[in-house]
Amino acid sequence: MKNLIALFCGGLFGIGLFISGMTNTTKVQGWLDIFGNWDPTLAFVLSGAIIPMAITWNITKRIKKPIFTDRFPKKTEQKLNKPLIIGSIMFGMGWGLSGLCPGPAMASLSFGGWQGLMFFFTMAIGMLFTPLIAKYLK
């Protein structure tokens, strides 16, 4: 059952990314290009996603546990640390370069051509080597 729900949620996520235009890199780069031809679409996407999710987090405070598992994810340690900041800087720089982040990169795999596949594989290689890099940041 959990796997079926995962398939459904992944599917809904993919359709949402596609409809919102986030698989089109020019829309994302247009949002980041505040001194050029600025495109505000991404603000609507984020707001549309955050509002139902904020309600959901409130529901989790009122019910004991998720339907199919034992507990909700705990809020992790709230301290800021080096990996969080350095990682976010790297992510932002890369995001600006191509206009792709991990979700849309996967949602566009079926129609993104060799460019999309190549992006996905280099991203995966980066993820594979991150544990080694993380050691040096401690």
Partner 1 sequence: MHPDWVSGLSGGLLIGFAASAYLLLNGRIMGASGILGGLIDLTGYENLLERLWFLLGLVLSPILAIQIAGGHDTQLTSDVYIIIASGLLVGIGTRLANGCTSGHGVCGISRLSFRGITATIVYLLCGVVSTIFFKNLLGLI
- Closest separation between CB of residue 127 and partner 1, Å? 4
76 near partner 1 (CB under 8 A): yes
Instruction: Out of 37, 62, 64, 131, point to the residue binding partner 1 (CB under 8 A).
Output: 131
CB count in 10 Å sphere of residue 115: 12
Token digits for 27?
A: 């829309």
Radius of gyration over every alpha carbon of the chain, rounded to an integer in angstroms: 18
Distances (CA, A) of 129 to 79, 124, 126: 24, 9, 5
- Closest separation between CB of residue 42 and partner 1, Å? 7
80 near partner 1 (CB under 8 A): yes
47 near partner 1 (CB under 8 A): yes
Instruction: Out of 37, 56, 62, 64, point to the residue binding partner 1 (CB under 8 A).
Output: 56
- Closest separation between CB of residue 47 and partner 1, Å? 6
48 near partner 1 (CB under 8 A): yes
Q: Cα separation of 47 and 76, whole Å?
A: 23
- Closest separation between CB of residue 38 and partner 1, Å? 10
64 near partner 1 (CB under 8 A): no
The footprint of partner 1 on residues 16-35 (CB under 8 A) is 16-27, 29, 32-35
Number of chain residues interacting with partner 1 (CB under 8 A): 116
The single-letter code of the amino acid at 69 is T
Q: Cα separation of 138 and 72, whole Å?
A: 28
Helices (H), the chain: 2-20, 25-32, 41-62, 82-98, 102-107, 113-136
